[in-house]
A and B are shown apart, each in its own frame.
Chain A
Amino acid sequence: MSTRSVGLAGICVMYAAGLLAGVLAPAGYADQDREHPDAPPSRAHWLGTDELGRDRWSRLLHGTRVSLLLAPAAAVVATALAAAAGLTAAVSGKWTGEAMALAFDVLLSLPLLFLLLALRASLPLNVSAWASLAITFALLALLGWPSAARVARAGALAALESTFALQARAAGIGKLRLLAVHLLPHLRPVVAAQFWLLVPAFILGEANLGILGLGVVEPLPSWGSLLGELQNLDSLRAQPWRLAPAAALLIAVCCFHLAGKTPAEEA
């Protein structure tokens, strides 16, 4: 069994757990059992309860659904933007291409976290937790594509120097056709690799916002908001089961990394 298959299998299991959260979770993610806060793991609560008496296992499952559904969606948007921008920069004239590359660098140099904080703060207040979550990931997608665009541009520039591209250009093929028919299929592994890298990056991005208290809003859980508890190191020593969201995140990132390996890398 290849490492890629292991990664894909792991992702499938996690997605299944997240999608079936409503069935697998013994309680709702917001249900508060106020008489049993901070309870240790038991038959009723596999991972114990949090300080408000909410079942940690149920919240982890629902958090898995939130993080694993929206991060790939955001990664698809960001990868598409990156591919479009990178390829356009590659096939445009020298000056336009350089200007676009410079624009990518400028975007990369922006303090992403502060930009996210500012954008989050300017959003309307009366939106549901799910809408707020979707907006957060949309912002991550809209701000997270420039690094992938640079890679796409570099890949496209290299491809343009190859024999097949020279032959196509010599045959008088237009830029658009060159892009769509010849370059894009050739760059598919590069773009796919960017997608696999962006997914964990976005999960971690949301986690960072969650730790700052600005990610997913209460009571909806996400891995980010659940990871907020890890700031309290003493509690972790006493209650190691609190590490479950971190373990889930680590496994997910590893799985995405393995799944993103190309056959050449595996060989």
Chain B
Amino acid sequence: MRSRMIAGLALLAAVLPARAEELRFCLRSDPKSSDPLNVGDESSETVRYLTHGFLVRMNRKTLQLEPGLAQSWRVAKGGRAIAFELRKGVKFSDGTPFDATDVEYTLKRVTSTERKVQSGDGLRRDEGAARILVSGPEKIEITFAAPIAGLAYLFDEIPMLSSRSPLKDKAGLGPYVLTEQRAGDHISFVRNRNYWRSDEKGGALPYFDSARIDIQQNREMELTRFRRGELHFISALDADSFERLGAESPQSVKDGGLSLESEMLWFNQVARAPIPAYKLKWFRSAAFRGAVSDSIRRDDLVRLVYKGRAAPGFGPFSPAARPWSNTNLKPLRYDQKAALKRLEAEGFRLQGGVLKDGAGNAVEFSLVTNAGNKNRARMAALIEQDLGRMGIKVNIVPLEMPSLLERITRSYQYEACLLGLVGVDLDPNDQMNMWLSSSATHQWNPSQAKPETAWEAEIDRLMKSQAAEGDEKKRVALIYKMQEIVREQTPLVYLVHPHALMAVSPRLANAQPAAFRPRVHWNIERLAPARAGEMASAR
């Protein structure tokens, strides 16, 4: 009887779908937006990646655009127009057909200046509205008032929505359909039965029948779950976890090389900020900022904090961001003597181990960063000691994220901040919001009515010019010039550019981890349980 029961259970286990049939990974937080056109956080972006379709997709390994819902496209009129030829027979997840009217509907919403959406940031032009011409169910052409740099790439960020589906924006063209979302716990998806893409042999995609994303803030817990085989991948590992996991399972860890991310420090230059006038004067001095930059041993940050899995800070574009990273610029080097010289030229004096300004004020500032981030805490400790050698006293203040954001975006009650920048897109337009002086995310002095300094005005001009330049060589020249100004003025002290460190379970087939986000699931429809993946590759 007992042996029959065991045999029965074994049979049941064989018949029931294996746990591996569900793709599992974690996100750090709940998605902040359910509007696919207004996505600003990684979690919302991931959900959109699973549930929605795009005209073109960038291959994160080759960085080339590949056909998506559009089987071909053509950029014309010097970067002012783009024509798409759509696939036939594509259906939304609820069975509603997809054609050029849906693209027109989506693009009208995206380019609307009345109700601005984030997905349209790169497409809205001051010069005038876009003209959309539908010349057939599969043919559509969009003409803009002025050239747009990297035009085709912008469509990698615009999800196509249905103009006719009763489900409205919830009807998607992505590989999965969202079935359940429990705040703070998990998000579940099932395979989109109407998904248009198939593999090379005509097999249905995606390979996994369902996907589950668990919301897991604790990185250690995420790592433990990965080890237990509960997760298929981790998109971002810190260097410590990478080393530890690599020691016990070298085949699971993937170093994707330099990422587009930067860790940086900046000083508050907001004129109305509630900080003493003499400190604001320091922070607004390019010599002061440059001297601080020169006084930091970036090699130590790389070696001690990132275990060598990072590159010393270089500038707005990490050396991985080719062709945009200005290779003519010399690497930032530790040079305390040069730093002191720059400071002395500005009236600072080192007296009894304390750096004082021309008015005799000892140089001391607070450095806020987000609490609980080990790497930033360590970097802050190293910077505190490096600057201490220059006679500068740094008070490190870890704050929980909401308080930190309140200070750096609203009240401006801070002096210096240590944070990171997550680059999603290789194109310089991805950083437009940070560099335009009018932008709310121009961190050191946001939302300026007009540029307060000549160099910020020049950066505004260069960024706007490159955004309207169709010729890539000319764009590169403009971006190079912009980086030279940034190097000279040092509004942001670049510290390190970390590597893209990931973990991928050997149980997951077809993964092609890349340095650019989304690093592991960019080809989610092709990710497969290892056995199915092996079968797929053998066919």
Contact = CB atoms under 8 A, between A and B. Distances in A.
Given A214-B398, A217-B396, A125 B366 contact: yes
B381 A219 contact: yes
A126 B377 contact: no
Given A125-B415, A126-B395, A213-B371, A52 B244 contact: no
B180 interface: no
Given A125-B415, A232-B220, A218 B384 contact: yes
B364 interface: yes
Given A126-B365, A126-B366, A212-B371, A52 B400 contact: no
B385 interface: yes
B398 A234 contact: no
Nearest to A50: B378
Contacts of A126: 364-366, 395, 415
Interface string B76-102: 000000000000000000000000000
Nearest to B400: A117
A28 to B, nearest CB: 11
A10 interface: no
A267 interface: no
A228 B220 CA distance: 12
A98 interface: no
A125 B413 contact: yes
B9 interface: no
B300 interface: yes
Contact of A125 (B381, B400, B414): B414
Interface string B290-315: 00000000001001110000000000
Nearest to A38: B304
A215 to B, nearest CB: 9
B304 A52 contact: yes
B380 interface: yes
Interface stretch (A11-19, A29-37, A65-73): A29-37
Contacts, number: 79
Interface in B303-346: 303-305
A214 B371 contact: yes
B243 to A, nearest CB: 10
B372 interface: yes
Contacts of A32: 381-382, 385
Interface size class of A (residues with CB under 8 A): 20 to 34
Interface string A143-155: 0000000000000
B240 A34 contact: no
Interface in B240-266: 240, 244
B244 A234 contact: yes
A125 B371 contact: no
B27 interface: no
B277 interface: no
A2 interface: no
Q: Which of B368, B374, B381 has the most CB of A within 10 A?
A: B381
A37 B304 contact: yes
B397 interface: yes
A217 B300 CA distance: 21
A235 B279 CA distance: 42
B373 interface: yes
Nearest to A233: B220
A219 B384 contact: yes
Contacts of B400: 117, 121, 212, 214
B3 interface: no
B377 A231 contact: no
Interface string A67-91: 0000000000000000000000000
A124 to B, nearest CB: 9
Contacts of A118: 403
B397 A217 contact: yes
Contacts of A53: 304
Contacts of A128: 395
A129 B244 contact: no
Interface string B376-420: 011011101100000000011111100100000000011100000
B395 to A, nearest CB: 6
A105 interface: no
B396 A218 contact: yes
Given A34-B300, A125-B413, A234-B244, A51 B366 contact: no
Contacts of B395: 125-129, 132, 217
A218 B304 contact: no
Contacts of A232: 220, 240, 244
Contacts of B378: 51-52
B73 to A, nearest CB: 48
A96 to B, nearest CB: 37
Closest 4 CB pairs of A and B: A213-B371, A121-B403, A125-B366, A213-B372
Given A125-B368, A129-B396, 6 more contacts: A34-B303, A117-B400, A125-B366, A128-B395, A129-B395, A214-B399
Interface of A: 30, 32, 34, 37, 51-53, 117-118, 120-122, 125-129, 132, 212-214, 217-219, 228, 231-235
20 contacts: A34-B300, A51-B378, A52-B378, A52-B381, A120-B399, A126-B364, A126-B415, A132-B395, A212-B372, A214-B371, A214-B372, A214-B398, A217-B395, A217-B397, A218-B380, A219-B396, A228-B374, A231-B220, A234-B244, A235-B240
